[in-house]
Structure 1
Amino acid sequence: MAFFEKPQEIFDWDAGAPPLGEVQVDDETLRDGLQGPSVREPPLEGKLEYLHLAAQAGVSAVDLGMPSASPRVEAEVTERLREIARARLPLTPNCAARTLERDITPLLRMSQNLGVPLEVMLFLGFSALRRQVEGWAREHLLRKAFEAVGFAAKNGLLVTFVAEDASRTSPEDLESLILTVVRAGASRVCLADTTGCLSPWGAEALTAFARRILDHHGFSQVGLDWHGHNDRGLAVACALAAARAGASRVHGSLLGIGERTGNAPVEQLLLNLYLLGGHRRELEHLVAFVRRGAELLGLSIPAYQPVAGRDAFTTATGVHAAAILKAWEKGDQCRAELVY
């Protein structure tokens, strides 16, 4: 994918935006993405190939799955972790787990057996709605979160605590939860818009709130993740808003696959972060990543899909095509690429 310096006659309304710091991208395709009912789960060989594709495309971290789901899943996740180590892929591996020691123990076993650092994504729903439905007591959940994070951290795992349904959790509850888990040893907190209910304004407000809480209480070193779903069609916009407000890592999946309407398309996150200055890796492998990844997952790419759709860089409009041809006839490749 070629990028050109913008000609001086193009005015950039984005130019006045505050500079975006380095933002990493966590690829959830092999865990959250495979929860989509229309997705075909690839064999192990396909999943290993996917890891190489993601690394080439510029992904920073990858969710390898949830080992506690079954012995088969644990064995497969072990092989994925082994491949990252063997091939020295520039990926931070992580796995999902509930706030239960029996979920965390397989991760400890894998990390210790392979000698590979591993991040655990410990998730727990804490919203008043979830507590009411489940019959959970608030203080019991806080104690459970504290103990699980402490157990994982003391045994050598990097801990990201995922606040499920953070987008519908009150500020008071969220502050209590965040402070509980970072005091127990979490190095990152992930804000999850589990139902995809937020607008970009809400995503910005939520992330800024969490950042203020951490900084105010002396935890400025704790990083923030953003994990959003696409129920309103705003997953990418919300992720970018969260990045502006202080999230240093955002989550997505290939083509946005996942539960219900899916996640933020990881390829669109990579593209937009690159254009906004938050991602430093070049994107020459991005289209190949999407197209081959789609093949592995049994997905067809809509012709109009950004980045990799068949028609993404094609026009049938006469006046637009004519302008492109005029630029080509002048030998001006840059303006031919940018005029339409």
Structure 2
Amino acid sequence: MISDPSSKYRPFPPIDLPDRRWPSRQIAAAPIWLSTDLRDGNQALFEPMNRERKLQLFDELVRIGFKEIEVGFPAASQIDFDVVRTLIEGRRIPDDVVPMVMTQAREDLIVRSFEALRGASRAIVHMYNATAPVWRRVVFGMTVPEVMQLIERHVSLVRQLADAHPETEWVLQYSPETFCATELPVALEACNTAIRAWDAGPGRPIIINLPTTVEGATPNVFADQIEWMDRRLERREHVVLSVHPHNDRGTGVACAELALMAGAQRVEGCLFGNGERSGNVDLVTLALNLYTQGIAPGLDFSDIAGVARVAESCTGLPIHPRHPYAGDLVFTAFSGSHQDAIRKGFAAQSADGFWEVPYLPIDPKDLGRTYDSIVRVNSQSGKGGIAFLLERDRGVTMPRRMQVEFSAVVQAHADASEAEVGSDELWSLFAATYLAPGEAVYRSHRLFDAPHGQQGIDIEIATGAGRRALRGFGNGPIDAAVNALGLPLRVDSYEERALDVSAQAQALAIVEAATPGIAGTRFGAGRHANIVTASILAVLAAGARLGLLCAVTAEEASVV
């Protein structure tokens, strides 16, 4: 039993912001995106990426459309240093993409970072230091004034080194690490100290990046923190306000979305939420959340499976099958009620209307996914999903009562096999249940005109002893076939349709029939290029499923 947490964990205090505005705002445009897959994501791997995988992932990030990419921590890693040099010397960075490198507020690390960026046409230097009370007290043993002096001194060094290399267009990014756990007045003082030391102004912007280094509160608290800072930062028109949410409480995406409502202009994160501990904010989910609201994210996930495979290959981390948008099962319904709603939604969806298919928040085709796996059948599935697969893959449209009947057949099979029922297996079950009984006894037939405007039919069927000839009359082929059998078979409904639209299309006939002494009805189906033949096959199948053909086929055959 977990002990009472109130004596061990301190609740996060609310932010004094009674006139907060973010709750009434909506996100109207995509933020500036910064991928930190090559730095934050890389340092969180069991085995950090080697040079080749880093370059492969960089190329993929460029292809997706990222314009700012944190390419590493070159002062702390020789591989990162070499990758940065390869990118610059090999002219592998497109003109519209800006690389960023990270460094702690330490003189030797800052100098080394500028060495790595030598020759870049544009670059962001990301400097950070922790500012929260526990870090000040326990990790660094520094007072607040000492922290401010450290920031001023090291930002001034960054400015001095940048001014010494005017051939590069430099931008400073400053992060008060542990911002979300820092007293807001202290965080504000740290950021304004960096703004002044960098001398932000026209042609000299600064990025102020506010991280939820470790999530410690609900997303609304983070939004309050961002709005509080947004209102008070100095030289605000020259500041790009950025956020870097982590996912320790599982609310990284929510933090980012509310932060954008609160004034943030830029978001840092990783593909599929990779990163320290529970990860960084998932930029794929965040971007596609915007997409489902009609907002162009500026990132290309039209081949989501391809992006996922590159990310898995480079990081060695699998993507969960239930991962939003990208997981292998996120567009798959096993539940019967879900399947039925999806089937009806597809039938009603217009090509030029708003997307309104139940249970599918986004059109899978927009992500390069097909509709093939949307409905899959197991023991939890219902008639809607089964009908959807047969209609999509085989062109079979079953009447509703037939859907109910066949779903019981499929469920019994799935329960026995304890496995998913694939589309081919589903068709085999359908054929064995509805087509095979008629095909097993039918051999041939001949129609002829009978007196009084009736239809005559001669049918040959198979028996245990050979073939048997039957003759009947009726007001049409089906009625004549029933009369030829000489059995109490009542046909309640009949439907016919083509299985495809080609010139060689087979006809499918479906008959619903009943007989005295047996509760309910049974369905039979027949398929043939000739619709009359298909209809006779369906009648024979329905009769066989009602047990009525046993007496007919057991009689001594009359040789034809």
- TM-score of the two chains, using structure 2 as the length reference: 0.54
Paired residue type of 2:209:
C
User: Which one is further off, 123-132 or 152-161?
Assistant: 152-161
- Equivalent positions of 1:177-196 (< 5 A) are 177-185=190-198, 187-196=206-215
Question: Does residue 321 of structure 1 match 2:339?
Answer: yes
**Which residue of structure 1 lines up, in the alignment, with residue 370 of structure 2?**
none
RCO comparison, higher one (Cα < 8 Å, 6+): 1
CA contact (8 A) 1:20 1:244 kept: no
Give the C-alpha shift of residue 174 in structure 1.
1.4
Q: Distance in 2 between matches of 1:189 and 1:94?
A: 14
- Equivalent positions of 1:169-184 (< 5 A) are 169-184=182-197
Question: Does residue 164 of structure 1 match 2:181?
Answer: no
Q: Distance in 2 between matches of 1:336 and 1:137?
A: 56
CA 1:132 to 1:329, structure 2 compared with 1: closer, same or farther past 3 Å?
A: closer
> Of 128, 140, 162, which residue of structure 2 is paired with 1:123?
128
Tell me, which stretches of 5 or more residues in structure 2 are unaligned?
1-23, 163-169, 201-205, 360-560
What is the RMSD computed on CA atoms of the aligned residues? Answer: 2.4
**Which residue of structure 1 lines up, in the alignment, with residue 377 of structure 2?**
none
CA contact (8 A) 1:328 1:336 kept: no
More helix as a share of residues: 1
Q: Secondary structure at the match of 1:273?
A: helix
Give the C-alpha shift of residue 330 in structure 1.
5.8
CA 1:180 to 1:329, structure 2 compared with 1: closer, same or farther past 3 Å?
A: closer
Give the C-alpha shift of residue 159 in structure 1.
0.5
**Which residue of structure 2 lines up, in the alignment, with residue 295 of structure 1?**
313
User: Which one is further off, 280-289 or 119-128?
Assistant: 280-289
CA 1:262 to 1:115, structure 2 compared with 1: closer, same or farther past 3 Å?
A: closer
Q: Distance in 2 between matches of 1:205 and 1:125?
A: 20
Give the C-alpha shift of residue 52 in structure 1.
1.9
CA deviation string 1:165-209 (max 9, x = no partner)? 111111221121111000011601111111111321111111111
Question: Does residue 75 of structure 1 match 2:82?
Answer: yes
> Of 239, 251, 257, which residue of structure 1 is paired with 2:268?
251
Question: Does residue 240 of structure 1 match 2:230?
Answer: no
Tell me, which stretches of 5 or more residues in structure 1 are unaligned?
1-15
CA deviation string 1:32-53 (max 9, x = no partner)? 1122254x43332221121121
CA 1:158 to 1:335, structure 2 compared with 1: closer, same or farther past 3 Å?
A: closer
Q: Secondary structure at the match of 1:161?
A: strand
Q: Distance in 1 between matches of 2:120 and 2:81?
A: 16
- TM-score of the two chains, using structure 1 as the length reference: 0.86
CA contact (8 A) 1:81 1:93 kept: no
Q: Distance in 1 between matches of 2:237 and 2:93?
A: 34
CA contact (8 A) 2:71 2:80 kept: no
Q: Distance in 1 between matches of 2:237 and 2:326?
A: 38
CA contact (8 A) 2:349 2:357 kept: no
Paired residue type of 2:49:
P
Give the C-alpha shift of residue 282 in structure 1.
4.7
CA contact (8 A) 1:227 1:251 kept: yes
**How many pairs align?**
320
- Equivalent positions of 1:1-340 (< 5 A) are 17-38=25-46, 40-82=47-89, 85-86=91-92, 88=94, 90-112=96-118, 114-133=119-138, 134-156=140-162, 157-185=170-198, 187-214=206-233, 217-276=234-293, 277=295, 279-329=297-347, 332=350, 338-340=357-359
User: Which one is further off, 269-278 or 240-249?
Assistant: 269-278
CA 1:325 to 1:183, structure 2 compared with 1: closer, same or farther past 3 Å?
A: same
Q: Distance in 2 between matches of 1:71 and 1:28?
A: 18
Paired residue type of 2:116:
M
CA 1:89 to 1:305, structure 2 compared with 1: closer, same or farther past 3 Å?
A: farther
Q: Secondary structure at the match of 2:72?
A: coil
CA 1:115 to 1:87, structure 2 compared with 1: closer, same or farther past 3 Å?
A: closer
Give the C-alpha shift of residue 286 in structure 1.
3.9
Q: % of aligned pairs identical?
A: 25
Give the C-alpha shift of residue 108 in structure 1.
2.0
Give the C-alpha shift of residue 76 in structure 1.
2.4
CA deviation string 1:130-151 (max 9, x = no partner)? 1110211322221111121122
Q: Distance in 1 between matches of 2:302 and 2:315?
A: 22
Q: Distance in 2 between matches of 1:20 and 1:330?
A: 29
Paired residue type of 1:47:
K
Q: Secondary structure at the match of 2:122?
A: coil
Paired residue type of 2:297:
H
CA deviation string 1:213-239 (max 9, x = no partner)? 12xx43322111101111100011001
